[in-house]
């Protein structure tokens, strides 16, 4: 398996849980912290093509909920990517890049199952 990269915000509780889990499994990973290095459009497009933009955008988070309703209307993949580029904190966390595919969100059993297949 190639080096894993975990994308998100270092201070996020879910990110912390995912990173601790990876460390406990003795899996090396690199952290891509959106607060230090924003995500690029190509990565967002790849993730949206793999999972659907509805999975990548975090509608439950504060940042999305604070958007005015006009910006939330008639979303499609292009509009969602534009919003995510403006507001990296609206990206569902974490995104774990396995090299050939990505995992979105964190649940220990999900990581265990998916990583055992890699």
Task: With both helix axes pointing from N to C terminus, report the angle between 41-51 and 77-86 in degrees, rounded to the nearest 10.
Answer: 140
Concatenated DSSP letters of 45-60: HHHHHHH-HHHHB-TT
Q: What stretches of the chain show up as alpha helix (H) in DSSP? A: 13-24, 41-51, 53-56, 62-66, 69-72, 77-86, 108-116
Residues classed as catalytic: 12
User: How many Å apart are CA 115 and CA 118, to the nearest integer?
Assistant: 5
């Amino acid at each position: 398996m190639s080096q894993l990269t975990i994308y998100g915000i270092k201070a996020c509780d879910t990110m912390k849980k995912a990173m601790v889990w990876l460390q406990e499994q003795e899996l090396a990973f690199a952290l891509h912290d959106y607060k230090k290095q924003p995500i690029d459009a190509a990565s967002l497009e790849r993730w949206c093509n793999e999972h659907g933009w509805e999975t990548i955008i975090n509608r439950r988070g504060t940042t999305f909920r604070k958007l005015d309703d006009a910006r939330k209307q008639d979303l499609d993949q292009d509009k969602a990517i534009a919003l995510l580029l403006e507001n990296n904190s609206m990206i569902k966390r974490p995104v774990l890049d396995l090299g050939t595919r990505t995992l979105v969100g964190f649940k220990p059993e999900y990581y265990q199952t998916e990583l055992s297949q890699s």
